[in-house]
Amino acid sequence: MSADIEQRKLAAIMFTDMVGYSALSQRDENLAQELLEEHRRLLREIFPPFNGTEIKTIGDAFLVEFNSALEAAQCAIEIQRALAKRNADVPPDRRIEVKIGIHIGDVVHRGGDVYGDGVNIASRIEPLAGAGGICVSMDVERQIRNAVETRFEKLATTELKNISVPMELFRIVLPWEKQLPRPESKSLALPPRARTWIWAAAAAAAALLLMIGIGWWWSTRKPLPEQGRSVSGALNQPTNIPEKSIAVLPFENLSSDKENAYFAEGIQDEILTRLSKIAALKVISRSSTQKYKSSPDNLRDVGKQLGVANLLEGSVQKAANAVHVNVQLIRAATDDHLWAESYDRKLDDIFGVEKEVAQNIAASLNAKLSGAEEQAIAQKPTANQTAYEAYLRGNTQFWEVNEQSLLAAENSYREAVKADSQFALAWAALARLHAVLFLIDDTTPTRRAAAEQAVNEAERLQPQAAETKVARGYFAYLVQYDFKGTLDLMEQAHRTWPNNAEVLQLLAFAAGRLGEWNKAADALDQALLLSPRDLVTRRWAINNRLDSRDFMTARRLSDEALQIWPDDPNLLGLKAETFQAIGQLDEAQALVSRMKPRLKDYDAVSALWYQAKLRRDPAPAIKILEPLARPTESGFDWLFNAAELADLQALAGDNASSQATFRQVRDRASALTREQPDNQRYLGTFAQALAHLGQREQALRVLDKTLELRAGDLRNRPTSEEEGARILTLFGEKDQAIPILQRLLQTRYSGWATTPLTPALLRLDPDFDPLRSDPRFQKLCEEKPK
């Protein structure tokens, strides 16, 4: 055809786009190019059998013309089938996923290219398909609805860029996706359940670091767990799953703007929050559900893993001020769909959706609501759209839990309360955030005042709200060190928010510090039931048994957890500690050898260091610790590793390196002391460095400061006492050190090194070599703690 000739015709136009190609190109250009070429080769093999004519490629996209809508749809289905089959056998970073849009309309052929509204509309439809999906216009759906063995999901009416008329769009539910019968409910549009859409479990796991933080922010060397009785029942998969139990799986973001992902996550969280306030239900926490796909393939397995009978799936599509929400309640064991609904709302009416979903789920599960629960579910937190979106964005950022995301969350919460100064839940969230930042990074009067102002505002507006009590509990626990106040607040919050694992964990932490070990254990057991797939909570359960010196149970719990996370360095470290405590160093070494710890893998690094110390073989551990002990520009986690490195350097006889490293630790800790004099986190390491540098009086003064700050802390104060015994031993003060060791052998507490002291550790630990000739110490090495 001559370049000057135009030809107008009716044609079906397909646009395809390779998902994530640009981002991958920035990370790994060679891999991106490899996958792009494979993608092109695979698709070009599929076009001809369906009479598809490739018009052009645009980077990682194809523009293809077909003679009929049916051939275009059949080709698109075959493309997604081939990719799904390919992706099932490759790691996540090598998957190829595409979005496909199809429209039928007038096009103009000119100069070897195709133009017209048919092309423009198809290009605008494609981004709405989502990874692994196919989106078609209503014109296409009408022509193929009776010709293909698929269902169609109607999307919200959408205004496409540069297209004057709003479009009615449909998503093809692919044949290999589980079929969902349409209930006889109004306006039903059910979300797809494609196995190719996979949540980034590692990113979700990162959010769980907050649960670690509450514990290790109080420690000197490693996360300090709560005491407790047996938690094994909460760790095992339950045999009797309650009928009125539910997990809210991650909601899928179908918005064309992927930055709206926070909004889909926010709607999921708000529905979960309302459900978790219903006492008749068992509701799994977000920390366990965020690891799953939006629509998992094997619902029966997911239900068993989470210990629930029912699962809620959903999707959210947000465009400007319009929101489209799909939800479906599924019986996990049978894949039966108990209830489903589709909602088209304006943004300022989204609260009604959250309320209705919670009410309908409660009704479907025959969960009777009290008047207070009805009121909590129906609560409209703000009428300000800007404030609400900022609040949801802040919640997503808060649970990512890294320094950058926490500071971003602070900005979002500030934006929310600026837009609506009467937004009590946003004030409560801001107060909780300030309390967290106070302890981990900023114990300044300015941060403390900001936390107090925010919690006061929340209490002024909604003093009885569970969120307000949680915010006050964080302030009491992390800022004021008021453990009794924290415990009282969390017990109150638990009565109105019974399915909140975060409340139960904070309750357990406070109870442990007050010496109420059984109450702490009960709370942690309940938290495990509500968050059974939370790695951090499981580590706390193991630590509980270690601190009670129940090493057999701790080992069994470690084995159970390692079945799920077989290469987790902290789990390996915890299991190694169970062997170290009873003197079985060969068994411990087999586990330590498997670990590849990173900077903040506290249990792993501690187990590695203490194993080298107990075996008196420091060289291999020194090589691993050296890169982990290098000073960083922000934070002071490296300080702990540096102190352990210096300890092993001294054990290796390299006194010059040891003294240099200890001086580095001392100088940084001294500066931190001037900046944040009441920050307990690094004081133990500071005292250790001073002692090894021969500065006895200064070391004991720092230790006295630590003991003063921990005066009411029955769990952590013994840790400082053990450190004092080690310092006194270092300076040859046997008569003061030995009585402390005797008392500690009969005390529940978190050990200074790894586990609490045991006779075996006293026999093996080189720190206690100066005491070995003393008959009193020899007796301690022989007797069992009572």
- Report d(CA 396, CA 347) in Å as an integer: 18
Burial class (CB in 10 A: 0-12, 13-18, 19+), 148: middle
User: pTM of the full predicted structure?
Assistant: 0.68
What letter does residue 280 receive in the DSSP assignment? T
pLDDT at 5: 65
DSSP string, 295-328: S-S-HHHHHHHHT-SEEEEEEEEEETTEEEEEEE
pLDDT in tens, 382-404: 999 899 999 999 999 998 867 78
Query: Which residue from 494, 518, 517, 496 is spatially nearest to 506, judged by alpha carbons?
Result: 494
d(CA 64, CA 16): 8
Q: What 3 state SS string does 81-146 have?
A: HHHHHHHCCCCHHHCCCEEEEEEEEEEEEECCEEECHHHHHHHHHHHHHCCCCEEEEHHHHHHHCC
Q: How far is CA 448 from CA 362, 455, 460, 521, 699, in A?
A: 40, 11, 18, 30, 28
Task: Report the pLDDT value the prediction gives residue 142, as an integer from 0 to 100.
Answer: 82
Identify whether the C-beta of residue 274 lies closer than 8 Å to the C-beta of residue 376: yes
Instruction: Tell me the domains of the chain and their CATH numbers.
Output: 6-173 (3.30.70.1230)
Q: How many CB atoms lie within 10 A of CB 280?
A: 15
Which residues of the chain, if any, have pLDDT below 50? 1-3, 178-237, 785-786
> Which neighbouring-strand residues pair with 167?
158
Question: How confident is the model at residue 467, as a pLDDT?
Answer: 96
Length of the chain (residues): 786
CA-closest candidate to residue 426, choices 376, 462, 402, 479: 462
What pLDDT is stored for residue 213 in this prediction? 40
